[in-house]
Amino acid sequence: MSSIVLVLIGLLVFYLGFRFYSRFIENRIFKIHEEDQTMPSKALEDGIDYVPTKKHILFGHHFTSIAGAAPIVGPCVAAYWGWLPALLWILLGTIFMGAVHDFGALVISVKEKGRSIADIASNTISKRTRLMFLSFVILLIWLILAVFAMVIADLFVAIPSSVIPINIEIIIAIIMGFLIYKKKIDILIPSLFALALLYFFVWVGTKVPIDLTTTMAVQDVKNLWIIMLFIYSAIASLLPVWTLLQPRDFINSHQLFVGLGLLFLGIFIAQPVVDAPAIRSLSEPDVPGIFPLLFVTIACGAISGFHGLVASGTSSKQLEKLSDARMVGYGGMIGEGTLALASTISAVAGIALVSNCNLPTVGPVTDLNWNVYYDTWAHASGNKAAAFVLGGGALIQSLGIPTIVANTLMAVLVISFAATTLDTATRIQRFILNEFGIATGVRALSNRYVATIVAIIPAILLAFWNVVEPGTGTMRQAGWVLWPIFGASNQMLAALTLMVLTLYYWQKKRPILPLLIPMIIVMGITISALVVNAIQFYGQNSILFGFTIILMGLIIWMVYEGVNKVLEIRRTS
């Protein structure tokens, strides 16, 4: 199988989905063309969180906020089962589930004055649902913050040449934000100049790598980076969105388009043959079943509840016109699906081009291929994004770019999106804690500084707390051990968001099958995954088992509230 064929099929499906299916959803369910909507970004404009933003800038912010490390890591791990299951779930999940979910969350939040999905659930379902939804989201975001900080710290240690360009990008973005919003300079020229400057510092980073492991233990260096990352995310989340988040994310959107362009061009130049089987034989010993693990492993590459938090937490407060929602919401998820597609191709074809490398779980390898990288589930899950960095780097090298520069480009790409998700998630957590404080009467949480501290402290503890990993008996950071729960709970959040959307538009007499069917499918997958996790944790780690049971309890309660609402509407209609 040629990798070029897979790329062409993937891009064609994404184009058709955006061209036709998104229009169908827009016209038949959301009926945006009939709306005369007062935009929250204008009605509540405060220059900090509510800021009317041109759609191309907002697309960059939204896209890079949702496109963190997960759509890269997930497909890299899921390629363990072969290329066909991963590719089908990414394409069909993105078009019919993920993009519809993101688009709907953005539209409904704008219609409800920029309120979060959790807040909207109180009117759509019940006031109890709001509190449960908020509790579920708070637990999920703490886990996201911990894991993404650890991903970035690991990459800073593994690829020290990425440290300088990532930190310089922050300074460049602040200058760019000042020029655009204070000096009223058109964004195109500053953003292109900023991108060129970023790539210059990528080259500088390869010449002057910041490797702190020469003077400190590796774990101490990772812990130092984690602390610095949380300090950064706290500050960034408190700044007005135009000072750092928007300009940096616009740079990152350019960076992604260039990175994806180089990757796909490398595929056409190198023409690597797909090294992986279509479907791995499940008769091999110790091969975990595809269902439900594959579907929650890829997670954000197909559908993600976190995207609904971004759409209703930050993007809805910046949307200038409701007609921009299709490009930002549905189009943003198409972009994420494209990133997941590139990650999959890197994992199933690009790694065959790699000669000498150092895998996280294996060590030095002189001739890499799919069978070496994916020899066991433990190695596949432990290597995480290495297939994207190494395989993608090899594809870029086929264009004549030196190895160290190519690998640094890939690492900077991954870290940029992970850092964007980190500070966006911190900002969203602040909003959610504000709402939680209002719902519970805890006034201290209405203070943005107090809420920010509460947002990051538990996440830091998850990053530093070591627990026994069930199955292996080894000590690992709690965030990594909980990662399988993230995949399941993240997609369950998407199912719950789809439940809110389904009930909202059912009461408006709109067709709801495009919302209801994905909700049922995703809910079935994620409940199954949480049950599997609970069985695995039972008797191995009581704390993780209890955490899983709490999540399952919240989910069952919210589903019960949804069913109750349906029965109530039917009784009164």
> Domain map of the chain by residue range?
3-64+81-572
pLDDT at 297: 87
Residue 214: other Cβ atoms inside 10 A: 7
For residue 165, what are the contacts with CB-CB under 8 A and spacing of at least 6?
A: 198, 201, 202, 204, 205, 408, 412
State the pLDDT at residue 472.
Answer: 61
Asked if pLDDT for residue 188 goes beyond 80, the answer is no
Q: Which residue has the higher pLDDT, 553 or 494?
A: 494
Report yes or no: 379 and 361 within 8 Å, Cβ to Cβ: yes
**pLDDT confidence of 469, banded at 50, 70, 90?**
low
pLDDT value at 464 more than 70 = yes
pLDDT at 417: 78
What does the mean pLDDT of the chain come to? 86
Give the least confident one: 103-112, 232-241, 321-330: 232-241
Is the model's pLDDT at 541 over the cut of 80?
A: no
Q: Find, among 100, 107, 30, the residue nearest to 334 by Cα.
A: 100
Average pLDDT over residues 246-261: 82
Cβ distance 456 to 237 under 8 Å?
A: no
Name residue 358's beta-bridge partners. Answer: 364
Q: What is the DSSP letter of 385?
A: T
Mean pLDDT of the region 70-88: 90
**Predicted local distance difference test score (pLDDT) of residue 387:** 85
Over the stretch 365-419, which tens digit does the pLDDT of each residue have?
788 888 888 888 888 877 777 888 888 888 888 888 888 888 888 888 888 878 8
Q: Which two tokens stand for residue 374?
A: 């994916």
Listed range (345-359, 507-521, 536-550, 551-565) with the worst mean pLDDT: 536-550
pLDDT over 70 at 63, yes or no: yes
Among the listed residues 347, 294, 351, 275, the one whose alpha carbon sits nearest the alpha carbon of residue 525: 294
Residue pLDDT, tens place only, 35-54: 667 889 898 888 878 889 88
Q: In this structure, are residues 252 and 64 in contact, taking their beta carbons and an 8 Å threshold?
A: yes
User: Which of 179-188, 417-426, 501-510 comes out lowest in average pLDDT?
Assistant: 179-188
Crossing angle (nearest 10°) for helices 245-270 and 55-66: 70
16-32 confidence digits (pLDDT tens) = 999 999 999 999 999 88
Band (pLDDT 50/70/90 cuts) for residue 34 is low
Structure tokens at 438: 């209002």
Q: Is the pLDDT of residue 245 over 90?
A: no
- Three-class SS of residue 159? coil
Q: Is the pLDDT of residue 519 over 90?
A: yes
Max distance between CA atoms of the chain, in angstroms, equals 71
pLDDT of residue 540: 73
Give the CA distances from residue 189 to residues 52, 252, 258, 303, 450, in Å, rounded to whole numbers and listed in that order. Answer: 21, 15, 16, 34, 38
pLDDT tens per residue, range 135-156: 888 888 888 888 888 888 888 8
Q: What is the pLDDT of residue 450?
A: 94
Task: Tell which wins on pLDDT, 52 or 256.
Answer: 52
Q: Give residue 421's pLDDT band: very low, low, confident or very high (50, 70, 90).
A: confident
Residue 227: the pLDDT is 94
pLDDT at residue number 147: 83
Does position 473 have pLDDT exceeding 70, yes or no?
no
Question: How many other C-beta atoms can be found within 10 angstroms of the C-beta atom of residue 200?
Answer: 12
Question: What integer pLDDT is reported at residue 252 of this predicted model?
Answer: 79
Give every CB contact of residue 535 below 8 A, 6+ residues apart in sequence: none
- For residue 308, pLDDT over 80 is answered with yes
Reported residue count of the chain is 573
How much is the pLDDT for 568?
Answer: 85
Tokens 């086929």 belong to 398
Confidence grade of residue 470 (pLDDT, cut at 50, 70, 90): low
pLDDT in tens, 311-340: 988 899 999 999 999 999 999 999 999 999
Mean pLDDT along residues 352-356: 83
What is the spatial distance between Cα 503 and Cα 499, in angstroms, rounded to a whole number?
6
**Residue 297 near residue 344, CB atoms below 8 Å:** no
Lowest mean pLDDT among 74-78, 206-210, 489-493: 489-493
Q: How far apart are alpha carbons 313 and 573 in whole angstroms?
A: 33
Q: Which amino acid is at 358?
A: N
Q: Burial of 416 by CB count in 10 Å (0-12 exposed, 13-18 middle, 19+ buried)?
A: buried
Mean pLDDT of 508-527: 92
| C-alpha count within 13 angstroms, C-beta hemisphere, residue 203 | 7
Residue 484: cis peptide before it, omega within 30 degrees of 0 = no
